[in-house]
């Protein structure tokens, strides 16, 4: 999954010679937390709501409100913006982008095309949307978590049992993280299952694999087995 398919656009931007007051207005109007800063169409910086709060905090307690508003109208964005801009290319994967955000402890980055032109912005909120899409939680099905042997066909075995009960799978996720040597953790979310059949389904699944938990998102039932 590529950034270009999940980024937010068009991007709300600000020019480097615009005022701090204009930046605050843009953030509030569009309900966003950051503004890429442009000069002649080129990305030269970024300003966040945190930058704006930091810039005005020292004077806020000593100035009258009209004096503070005047001050903010005179401070230019180029004086308070961050010039070291962390960005990602449009053809980055979502996973690569999440790694960039995490390693730099930031919540969003501008997205540039091959010509280094600003084409979008992607934030942790966009990444959350990807997670929801990948897991299929919106269908409010049942998620089964397994500890499976790391061998060909192990996922198919449990998937066929779920299908035999009429289950349709909206997602299958697998990882080796925290799994014992020779095993992997597999998470299958299925819907269209008859809740009356779940007990028998669980019994048959236990014959094929170790079940870690079963969570029914529609009924909000949770059975933690290991």
Reported as a single tens digit per residue, the pLDDT across 12-66 is 999 999 998 899 999 999 999 999 999 988 999 999 988 888 876 555 555 455 5
CA distances from 81 to 45, 98, 106, 137 (A): 6, 23, 15, 39
Outline which parts of the chain fall under CATH 3.10.580.10.
3-132
The CATH number fitting domain 136-224, selected from 3.40.190.10, 3.30.70.260, 3.40.50.11540, 1.10.3720.10: 3.30.70.260
φ, ψ (nearest 5 deg) of residue 62: -110, -10
Question: What is the location of CATH 3.30.70.260 in the chain?
Answer: 136-224
Residue position matching structure tokens 């843009």: 26
**What mean pLDDT is reported for the chain?**
91
Class of domain 3-132: alpha beta
**CA–CA separation, 206 and 201 (whole Å):** 9
Q: With a threshold of 0.75, does the pTM exceed it?
A: yes
Which regions of the chain are under pLDDT 70?
Answer: 56-73
Sign of CA dihedral 154, 156, 160, 148: positive
- CA 28/CA 30 separation, integer angstroms: 6
């Amino acid at each position: 999954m590529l950034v270009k398919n999940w980024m937010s656009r068009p991007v709300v931007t600000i020019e480097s010679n615009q005022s701090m007051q204009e930046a605050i207005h843009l953030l509030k109007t569009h309900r966003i937390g950051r503004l890429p800063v442009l000069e002649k169409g080129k990305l030269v910086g970024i300003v966040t709501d945190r930058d704006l709060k930091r810039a005005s905090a020292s004077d806020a307690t000593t100035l009258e409100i009209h004096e503070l508003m005047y001050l903010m109208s005179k401070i230019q964005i180029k004086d308070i913006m961050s010039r070291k801009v962390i960005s990602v290319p449009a053809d980055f994967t979502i996973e690569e982008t999440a790694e960039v955000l995490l390693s730099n402890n930031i919540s969003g980055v501008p997205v540039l095309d091959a010509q280094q032109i600003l084409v979008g912005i992607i934030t942790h909120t966009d990444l959350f949307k990807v997670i929801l899409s990948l897991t299929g939680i919106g269908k409010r099905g049942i998620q089964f978590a397994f500890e499976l042997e790391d061998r060909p066909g192990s996922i198919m075995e449990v998937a066929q049992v779920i299908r035999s009960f009429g289950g349709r799978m909206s997602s299958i996720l697998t990882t080796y993280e925290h799994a014992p040597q020779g095993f992997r953790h597999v998470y299958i979310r299925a819907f269209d299952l008859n809740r009356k059949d779940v007990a028998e389904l669980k019994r048959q699944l236990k014959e094929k694999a170790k079940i870690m938990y079963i969570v029914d998102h529609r009924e909000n039932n949770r059975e933690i087995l290991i």
